[in-house]
A and B are shown apart, each in its own frame.
Chain A
Amino acid sequence: MVDVKHVSKGYNKKNVITDVSVKIAKGKITSFIGPNGAGKSTLLSMISRLIAKDEGEIYIDGMDLTRCKNNDLAKKISILKQSNHINVRLTVKELVSFGRFPYSQGRLTKEDRRLVNEAIRYMELEDIQHKYLDQLSGGQKQRAYIAMVIAQDTEYVLLDEPLNNLDMKHSVQIMKTLRRLADELGKTVVIVIHDINFASCYSDYIVAMKDGKVIKEGTTDEIITPTVLNEVYDIDFKIEEINREKICVFYS
């Protein structure tokens, strides 16, 4: 379990995150939703130690984040940022192999190779595994990065807007994969997501944020209600049930 306690973060004396406490349940998909500038990505970056927090504590399975060794954390928690520009020319397989670095420090063992191939198969990248990343479409690239995270084989997988710039087909594909990661492999998936309907259909828990604070957290059913969403986004929401999924209509 990830336990965030009273965390604050500011840039130039302006608080981006103020006294946030959330608990993230194991083996489930938790989505962070909220308007731009709500601090979702910042919170995710702090949980994954990419940026330092100013105040508060973050515990991962009871261990204080700041006291853990970097390499041990890399076997426990992985993050995928929204923009992944890489300056070197890599093939898909080479990229996925990097996911094994925390374990093998660059010298792949037989076991590492097996897990890399497994991750490639899991993301259905076998056909393009020897292609260079700059030859791929946005969706293929995103799948390659997710395969790398799978190869890293961490209990916690954090993704910052994994659907960014993807069409519906690829978005659904990615979300289904994340669902499988949670259901089949028992991983804890945390995502920042803007498309509220994807959050509604695929996540177990939702954390709604606004202005650096958590407005409400709870199961998907508790959050996807007109009252909560109106408060978070300041626009009118209608919620319809289609195939027992809650779908939000907010186009006015």
Chain B
Amino acid sequence: MSNKSKLIGLAVVAIALAVAFIFIDLGNNWDYALPRRLKKVYAIILTGGVIAFSTLVFQTITNNRILTPSIIGLDSLYLLIQTFLIFVLGSMNTLVTNENVNFLISVGLMVIFAGLLYKLLFRGDGQNIYFLLLVGIIFGTFFGSITEFMQVLIDPNEFMVVQDRMFASFNNVKTDLLLIATIAVILVSLYSVKLIKYLDVLSLGKDQAVNLGVDYDYVVKRLLVVIAILVSISTALVGPITFLGLLVANVAHQFLNTYRHSYLIIGSVFISIIALVGGQLIVERVFTFDTTLSVIVNFVGGVYFIYLLLKESKSW
């Protein structure tokens, strides 16, 4: 089967699942239920696409297929920002309650953080991408510890608000954010279009990329910023769920068996949508909300991750 027909197959499955999600058990009250479900499905598709793309790009930059952007501490920074705002200003402050303002602050800080990490990385040569990852892991742990510290001290009622943002859930997607998130995704996509052609070459490693005329520092810097924005969009919409990215990026690699990012990106976006919409369909209609999607994603993702580690010891 050619890759094109595989992609068409994935698209058909994704659309079918979305339609099923919208129309199964819709009931009689269409005016109420339909817009709500449409918004939800749209949010899921947006998040799924964003996670798939950012993870795929991150794995290509790092030349490592068992990493997700959460390794450089982007998720933990998001939680730190949320906890800090609630801790210092209280849960009723506009910076917390106004989702759009909150979103812009989070995105801004995360981009600045990615920029700083990048500065550390490319101060001189001899530093490589693993140095960036290492520093990122340390920062991630650091952010996590501070977050925990504040959560211990915080007022229990305020903590409820923090907790709400700590776990990924599609049952309470922040639909207020959809408009600004959509605009951000469109802008970022337009921005990354001209960078996508470099991804294939970047997957050969830094030396080959430079040899083939890619302005490595320039391209990687911009891709990191793109990743930071996309991760903050998905985290703000549903919470930390980048683990899903690991799953879909690798399934895409295995399913499509190509190095071409034009296929991989589209494939992983569809796989991500299938996983999320399908998973949410199961959560809502089979488990009747007894569990959340992130539990299922983490369970399946965890098993797959162990499988990957075992397989990594041999060669791909």
Q: For residue B64, which residues in chain A have a CB less than 8 angstroms away from its CB? A: 87
Q: Do residues B204 and A74 form an inter-chain contact, with CB atoms below 8 A?
A: no
Of the candidate stretches B135-143, B195-203, B296-304, the one touching chain A is B195-203
Q: Do residues A98 and B207 form an inter-chain contact, with CB atoms below 8 A?
A: no
Known: A50-B210, A74-B211, A98-B212. A88 touches B126 (CB 8 A): no
Which chain B residues in 169-217 approach chain A with CB under 8 Å? 197, 200-201, 203-205, 207-208, 210-215
Task: Fill in one digit per residue for A70-86: 1 if any B CB lies within 8 Å of its CB, else 0.
Answer: 11111100111100111
Q: For residue B259, which residues in chain A have a CB less than 8 angstroms away from its CB? A: 88-90, 94
Which chain A residues in 9-67 approach chain B with CB under 8 Å? 11, 48-52
Which chain B residues in 283-316 approach chain A with CB under 8 Å? 315-316
One of A80, A98, A102, A134 near B204 (C-beta < 8 A): A98
SS of B interface (majority)? loop
Q: Do residues A98 and B208 form an inter-chain contact, with CB atoms below 8 A?
A: yes
Q: Do residues A70 and B213 form an inter-chain contact, with CB atoms below 8 A?
A: yes
Q: For residue B63, which residues in chain A have a CB less than 8 angstroms away from its CB? A: 87
Q: With an 8 A cutoff between CB atoms, is B221 at the interface? A: no
Which chain A residues in 82-128 approach chain B with CB under 8 Å? 84-90, 94, 98-99, 101-102, 105-106
Q: For residue B215, which residues in chain A have a CB less than 8 angstroms away from its CB? A: 70-71
Q: Do residues B211 and A87 form an inter-chain contact, with CB atoms below 8 A?
A: no
Known: A74-B212, A102-B212. A86 touches B200 (CB 8 A): no
Q: Do residues A70 and B210 form an inter-chain contact, with CB atoms below 8 A?
A: yes
Known: A98-B201, A105-B197. A51 touches B315 (CB 8 A): no
Q: With an 8 A cutoff between CB atoms, is B31 at the interface? A: no
Q: With an 8 A cutoff between CB atoms, is B39 at the interface? A: no
Known: A51-B125, A94-B259. A86 touches B204 (CB 8 A): yes
Q: With an 8 A cutoff between CB atoms, is A8 at the interface? A: no
Q: With an 8 A cutoff between CB atoms, is B257 at the interface? A: yes
- Interface size for B (C-beta < 8 A) is 23
The CA of A99 and the CA of B211, in the complex, are separated in Å by 9
Task: Fill in one digit per residue for B209-230: 1 if any A CB lies within 8 Å of its CB, else 0.
Answer: 0111111000000000000000
Instruction: Tell which of B200, B210, B315 has the most Cβ of chain A within 10 Å.
Output: B210
Q: With an 8 A cutoff between CB atoms, is A152 at the interface? A: yes
Task: Fill in one digit per residue for B98-129: 1 if any A CB lies within 8 Å of its CB, else 0.
Answer: 00000000000000000000000000011000
Nearest CB of chain B from residue A43's CB, rounded to whole Å: 15
Nearest CB of chain A from residue B101's CB, rounded to whole Å: 40
**Closest residue of B by beta carbon distance from A9:** B125
Q: Do residues A74 and B205 form an inter-chain contact, with CB atoms below 8 A?
A: no
Interface residues of B (CB under 8 A from A): 63-65, 125-126, 197, 200-201, 203-205, 207-208, 210-215, 257, 259, 315-316
29 A–B contacts, CB within 8 A, in A order:
A11-B126, A50-B211, A51-B125, A70-B213, A71-B213, A74-B211, A74-B212, A75-B213, A78-B211, A79-B207, A80-B211, A84-B208, A86-B203, A87-B203, A89-B257, A89-B259, A98-B200, A98-B201, A98-B208, A101-B201, A101-B212, A102-B212, A102-B213, A106-B197, A106-B200, A106-B201, A134-B315, A152-B211, A152-B212
